[in-house]
Amino acid sequence: VTAGAKGSRERWRGLASTAWTFLAAAVGGSCLLLLGIPGGMLVGSIVAVAALSMAGATVFRDARAKQVAQVIVGTGIGATLTPESFALLRALVLPILAAIAALVLVGLLSGLVLARTTGLDVATAITATAPGGMIEMVLVSDAVGGETPVVAGIHVMRILAVLGTLPIVLALLT
């Protein structure tokens, strides 16, 4: 088998995994959306792709996809901007900063409890429970000698818990 043929096969495999990942996400999301579950498209997509991944199928993981998603979400938000948006943001700066301070405090306390109850080292526990971005906290954890795979795993669980409970919270709030 020539290197060219091998490369071509790899490319087709990559395309196929991309196609079925997005197809599964669209089908899963549409099902929950049709059932009238709030935030169903997002949660259904997560559940469908997670099920594929857990079943051992090769799912699409590419850093560029995250950038594409950022551009689509950003364009969607930019399209809703009005002059009034800036006045609202000015009014929200203080409450947002206070909310962040509260989340940091809860994260630190949770980290200490996690370290006490599980025997995890403090560096791992605190960076795992800090409510910041996953990539940033994994980098901080690495710098302070934490176990980065555990930190990444707990951050994924936190994001999943927030997004997984979204339909319930939305149903309660709307």
Binding mask of the shown chain, residues 130 to 169, with x at each position contacting another protein by CB under 8 A: xxxxx-xx--x--xx----xx-xxx-xxxxxxxx-xx--x
**Structure-token pair, residue 36:** 């009238």
Distance in Å, CB of 1 to another protein, minimum: 29
Q: Is 104 in the site for another protein (CB under 8 A)?
A: yes
Number of chain positions touching another protein (CB under 8 A): 107
The amino acid that residue 139 corresponds to is L
Q: Which is nearer to another protein, 6 or 159 (CB)?
A: 159
Q: Does residue 87 touch another protein according to CB under 8 A?
A: no
At residue 50's C-alpha, the angle toward residues 45 and 52, to 5°, is: 100
In whole angstroms, the minimum distance from the beta carbon of 26 to another protein comes to: 5
Our CB check for another protein shows the closer of 7 and 89 to be: 89
Binding of residue 31 to another protein (CB under 8 A): no
Give the CA distances from residue 94 to residues 45, 82, 97, 171, in Å, rounded to whole numbers and listed in that order. Answer: 34, 21, 5, 28
Helix then strand then coil, in percent of the chain rounded to 5, is 80, 0, 20
Residue type, 49: V
User: Six-digit token pair at 55?
Assistant: 């079943």
SS3 148: helix
Is 102 an interacting residue with respect to another protein (CB under 8 A)?
yes
Place of tokens 């399209």: 79
Q: With binding defined as CB under 8 A, does residue 47 bind another protein?
A: yes
CB of 13 to another protein, least distance (A): 16
